[in-house]
């Protein structure tokens, strides 16, 4: 990549000698010496951004004043929200978000040719790695055939997508694809792709060293911050702009310091720690902020545990959770097979440029909080949100409270906590399923002819899955030891529990087999099902038909327990109402008991061969047992061997055919890949932002509406608009696959927008699913109503509550919203990524002011909405909104326009960020 050297900061470019090799680098101490400010007490996370400013200072996009603003940040107590232009070193994608991104790039090549430009201008300027990890589904489980059968089905379902991605790899520069069956993108990134300090040649051929940074099209890109690599999730549209050379417009963030002290106690895991961190930071409020972890506790925290905490930054709402470079960073890089010269460079660079965390590390933070890791107890989170933290001792009773709320029609809202404050309160009595008069239970007959009772709380999915925990050998080895001890005592999973093990990389399988633990996991049903996200992304696969029927016939609140990072409503399985996040060892334990009503801290998990009760403490491994095995089997050689041919793939991948040349030959009959409408008929010049007049309300939504609610990733039925579309094209239900896998087809995704089975539109009383009022006032699917409004030329708006757009960084939550004809989303607050995505698609986000909310306005959906002042709007301005009720009454409120920066205003004027980039590239060529 070209390194831009500015005249004013050329004196900050210095030389570093490492093992006989010279590297140029941009020195923060030299910037201080040049009089650009005092940067000595900046947090390491912010120094990464500052170095980016030094390297790209050109007097235009990045100015000397931008650099000096970082010094002012420290003088002003960790605050200076100046707009800056930031350029990450690279981009990471996974296939669910990567396929639509490559679709957009292919469409942009068509679009630039239509504008008279050069198709080769549409090429990534920065390295892009796409890891195929989201497509494998758990159709087969609990037997030795599971892995191969799931892989075979994956290729059957997704061959069109894989052919398309292989075309992209051949058509675009700087674009690599990691084939299916390799691992989860974040784990592959952490274990192999990331370097902590990156190197590249500048325009003069000089090798330059600089911090490894990235953005990714998945919200859990933040995981790599555990290795001091600054990265966060963005929508696919923002990532596409970044890879095409467009800087990311952002405000200099606040940085919250999280001090860790003490060390973990016997019997606790990194998962228990991260769930507590999520709860604390959600309470603190860190949306849009960096979090940096510091304190002497880091000396006792292995990098795998740090990566677990960094991974869940989207769950605690931060842009990232950063860990500075220290001795543990170097140890991890060495263990995972990085070259010794690179490790030496990381140490030398960090110490020379002020990035090293030593005993004297004491930066300025915007705000701080503290946690003694010695206070951590075993815990889970659920049943709907990662921040719903539950000490394990209260889990069963909390579930009983949740069930009671559902049955009484008072299901706790997202603002309420499904837990007890403190430790002194006695848990409420819980109703034990099977008691006389318990009306929510059903029976099913297994294949062997035996009959089993299911009830509220029956655990039907127990899945060791997700990058969050399968990157951590301490909890994976722990799960294997729990399985070994349970097996030795004769315990097994309950027959109604669908068990699975989906590691984040092949290294996991290697060390589980080296420790002889895979055999023990297999024995109780945790067979390898694939290398990918599986249950965590909603690819849990179907439950056995009799179990699914028993759940739905009797309206049971079935549960899942997974070692993932997301447990939002409707995400894990359409048959499951309550989902809990837990450490892998606890996932195994819950599979043995099969019932969320059981307090596994005091009640037996089952009986051994002699009929004696077996308790959790009887099968829980000691920290010393785990550490000994990790030390013995997690080796540098394992990482080097498994990543030696990471881009080669197996015979199936090598056999995937590539069609097309510079532009893509869009297959008309494909139901996976279609040319999107964004750039068709596009003019050479941008438009203007116009006022919104006579808009109708498409939906009124509550708090914590996630991107899963807006654009679900999982399965769908033939009765849905998306299902009807596929049936009309002779696609059998068995081949529907998932919404996530069909993100390359806008026709499917438009129909799936706001189609989550658990979403509740408050315009309708007690109705779940993607429904609204049509133009005639009758209940209709959201898609059909939107199309009817579009046919009449009526603009649409959405109303929401707090934290609108939380969760995954999926661009389709914004793309679908735009394609339905929504011009504005009005909410109490927005999560960072989705707000940016909406702007990137030309949809304007607005926030209520003055205490107004959708509730105080008493909206029914029969109103019309007008928003003025948009023709002269400036970033973050307040504008008037007039709501006209069905009886003719009017109410004028003020809204804060969440177009946050000047460049974002330009994006909206162009109709979106990709339109902005495309027009500029067309002019340049």
* Edge-first strand listing for the sheet containing 389-391: 389-391, 379-381, 578-581, 559-562, 459-464, 498-501
* Under 8 Å between Cβ of 161 and 135: yes
Kindly state the helix (H) or strand (E) to which residue 319 belongs, with its residue range: none
SS3 798: strand
Nearest to 310, CA basis, from 562, 580, 565, 534? 565
* Under 8 Å between Cβ of 806 and 710: no
The per-residue pLDDT for 300 is 93
CATH, domain range 379-407+441-637: 3.30.499.10
CA angle 829–835–837, rounded 5-degree value: 160
- Rounded to whole angstroms, the Cα distance separating 109 from 91 reads 20
Superfamily of chain region 90-138+153-375: Aconitase, domain 3 (3.30.499.10)
CA distances in angstroms from 299 to 166, 233, 266, 324, 364, listed in the order given? 44, 28, 17, 12, 20
Q: Where are the alpha helices (DSSP H) in 172-202?
A: 185-188
The per-residue pLDDT for 155 is 86
- Rounded to whole angstroms, the Cα distance separating 200 from 877 reads 41
Superfamily of chain region 692-710+760-924: Aconitase, domain 4 (3.20.19.10)
- Rounded to whole angstroms, the Cα distance separating 355 from 343 reads 14
Nearest to 215, CA basis, from 246, 254, 184? 246
Query: Rounded to the nearest 10 degrees, what angle do helices 473-488 and 623-633 cross at?
Result: 110
Which residues are CB-contacts of 671 (< 8 A; sequence separation ≥ 6)?
726, 729, 731, 742, 745, 748
Mean pLDDT for each 10-residue chunk of the chain (925 residues)? 45 94 96 95 98 93 95 94 93 87 92 91 92 77 86 86 91 91 87 95 92 92 96 86 87 96 94 93 93 97 94 92 98 96 98 96 97 96 89 94 84 41 36 47 80 93 82 91 97 94 87 94 90 69 87 92 79 87 95 96 95 96 94 92 88 84 89 92 90 98 92 89 96 88 93 93 93 96 97 97 85 94 97 89 97 96 97 95 97 97 92 91 85
The per-residue pLDDT for 534 is 66
Instruction: Report CA Rg, the chain.
Output: 27
- Name the residue ranges covered by the structural domains of the chain: 90-138+153-375, 379-407+441-637, 692-710+760-924, 712-752
Sign of CA dihedral 454, 456, 460, 462: negative
- Rounded to whole angstroms, the Cα distance separating 840 from 258 reads 32
Query: Rounded to the nearest 10 degrees, what angle do helices 236-243 and 832-840 cross at?
Result: 70
- Rounded to whole angstroms, the Cα distance separating 406 from 50 reads 50
Domains 90-138+153-375 and 379-407+441-637 share a fold: yes
The per-residue pLDDT for 244 is 86
* Under 8 Å between Cβ of 48 and 28: no
Strand blocks (E) in 645-776: 692-700, 771-773
* Under 8 Å between Cβ of 805 and 898: no
User: 318-329: string of b/e by CB count within 10 Å (b at 16+)?
Assistant: bbbbbbbbbebb
């Amino acid at each position: 990549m070209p390194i831009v050297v500015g005249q004013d900061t050329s004196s900050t470019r210095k030389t570093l000698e490492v093992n006989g090799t010279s590297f140029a680098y941009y020195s923060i101490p030299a910037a201080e010496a040049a009089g650009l400010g005092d940067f000595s007490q900046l947090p390491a996370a912010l120094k990464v951004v500052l170095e980016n400013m030094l390297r790209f200072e050109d007097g235009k996009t990045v100015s000397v004043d931008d650099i000096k603003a970082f010094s002012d940040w420290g003088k002003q107590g960790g605050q200076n929200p100046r707009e800056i232009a930031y350029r990450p070193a690279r981009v990471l994608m996974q296939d669910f978000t990567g396929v639509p991104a490559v679709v957009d790039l292919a469409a942009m090549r068509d679009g630039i040719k239509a504008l008279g430009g050069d198709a080769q201008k549409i090429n990534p300027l920065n390295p892009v790695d796409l890891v195929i990890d989201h497509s494998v589904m758990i159709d087969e489980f609990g037997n030795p055939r599971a892995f191969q059968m799931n892989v075979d089905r994956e290729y059957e379902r997704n061959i069109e997508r894989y052919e398309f991605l292989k075309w992209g790899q051949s058509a675009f520069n700087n674009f690599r694809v990691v084939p299916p069956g390799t691992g989860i993108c974040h784990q592959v990134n952490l274990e192999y792709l990331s370097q902590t300090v990156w190197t590249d040649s500048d325009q003069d051929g000089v090798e330059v060293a600089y911090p490894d940074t990235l953005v990714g099209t998945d919200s859990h890109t933040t995981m790599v911050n555990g290795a001091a690599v600054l990265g966060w999730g963005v929508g696919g549209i923002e990532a596409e702009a970044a890879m095409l050379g467009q800087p990311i417009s952002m405000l200099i963030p606040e940085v919250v310091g999280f001090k860790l002290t003490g060390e973990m106690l016997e019997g606790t895991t990194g998962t228990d720690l991260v769930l507590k961190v999520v709860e604390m930071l959600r309470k603190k409020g860190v949306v849009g902020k960096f979090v940096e972890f510091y304190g002497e506790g880091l000396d006792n925290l292995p990098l795998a545990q740090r990566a677990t905490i960094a991974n869940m930054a989207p769950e605690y709402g931060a842009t990232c959770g950063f860990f500075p470079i220290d001795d543990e960073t170097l140890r991890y890089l060495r263990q995972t097979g990085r070259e010794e010269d690179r490790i030496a460079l990381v140490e030398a660079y960090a110490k020379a440029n002020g990035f090293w965390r030593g005993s004297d590390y004491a930066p300025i933070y915007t705000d701080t909080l503290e946690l003694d890791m010695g206070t951590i107890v075993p815990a889970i989170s659920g049943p709907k949100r990662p921040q719903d933290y539950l000490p394990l001792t209260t889990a069963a009773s909390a579930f009983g409270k949740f069930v009671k709320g559902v049955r009484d029609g008072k299901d706790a809202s997202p603002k309420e906590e499904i837990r007890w404050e403190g430790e002194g309160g006695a848990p409420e009595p819980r109703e034990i399923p099977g008691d006389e008069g318990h009306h929510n239970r059903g029976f099913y007959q297994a294949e062997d002819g035996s009959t089993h009772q299911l009830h509220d709380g029956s655990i039907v999915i127990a899945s060791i899955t997700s990058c969050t925990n399968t990157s951590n050998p301490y909890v994976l080895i722990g799960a294997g030891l729990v399985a070994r001890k349970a097996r030795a005592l004769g315990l097994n999973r309950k027959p109604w529990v669908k068990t699975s093990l989906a590691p984040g990389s092949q290294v996991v399988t290697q060390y589980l087999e080296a420790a002889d633990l895979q055999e023990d996991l297999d024995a109780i049903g945790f067979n390898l099902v694939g290398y990918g996200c599986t249950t965590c992304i909603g690819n849990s696969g179907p439950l056995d038909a009799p179990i699914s029927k028993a759940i739905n016939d009797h309206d049971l609140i079935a549960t899942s327990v997974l070692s993932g990072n997301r447990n939002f409503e409707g995400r894990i399985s359409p048959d499951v109402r309550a989902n809990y996040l837990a450490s892998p060892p606890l996932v195994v334990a819950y599979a043995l008991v099969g019932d969320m009503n059981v307090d596994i801290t005091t009640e037996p998990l089952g009986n051994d061969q002699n009929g004696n009760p077996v308790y959790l403490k009887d099968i829980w491994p000691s920290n010393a047992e785990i550490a000994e095995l990790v030390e013995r089997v997690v080796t540098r050689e394992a990482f080097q061997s498994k990543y030696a041919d990471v881009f080669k793939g197996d015979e199936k991948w090598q056999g995937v055919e590539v069609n097309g040349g510079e532009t893509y030959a869009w297959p008309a009959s494909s139901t996976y890949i279609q040319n999107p409408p964004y750039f068709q008929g596009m003019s050479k010049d941008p438009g203007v932002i116009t006022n919104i007049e006579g808009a109708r309300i498409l939906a009124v939504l509550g708090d914590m509406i996630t991107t899963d609610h807006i654009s679900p990733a999982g399965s769908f039925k033939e009765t849905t608009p998306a299902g009807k579309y596929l049936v009309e094209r002779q696609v059998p239900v068995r081949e529907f696959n998932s919404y996530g896998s069909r993100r390359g087809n806008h026709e499917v995704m438009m129909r799936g927008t706001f189609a989550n089975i658990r979403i509740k539109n408050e315009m309708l009383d007690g109705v779940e699913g993607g429904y609204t009022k049509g133009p005639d006032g009758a209940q209709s699917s959201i898609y059909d109503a939107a199309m009817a409004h579009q046919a009449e030329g009526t603009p649409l708006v959405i109303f929401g509550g707090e934290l609108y757009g939380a969760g995954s960084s999926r661009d389709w939550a914004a793309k679908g919203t735009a394609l339905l004809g929504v011009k504005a989303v009005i909410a109490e607050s927005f999560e960072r990524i989705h707000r940016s995505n909406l702007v990137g698609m030309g949809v304007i986000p607005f926030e209520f002011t003055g205490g107004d909310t959708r509730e105080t306005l008493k909206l029914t959906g029969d109103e019309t909405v007008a928003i003025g002042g948009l023709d002269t709007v400036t970033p973050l301005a307040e504008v008037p909104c007039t709501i006209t009720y069905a009886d003719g009454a009017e109410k004028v409120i003020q809204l804060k326009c969440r177009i946050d920066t000047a460049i974002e205003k330009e994006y909206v004027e162009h109709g979106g960020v990709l339109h902005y980039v495309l027009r500029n590239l067309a002019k340049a060529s």
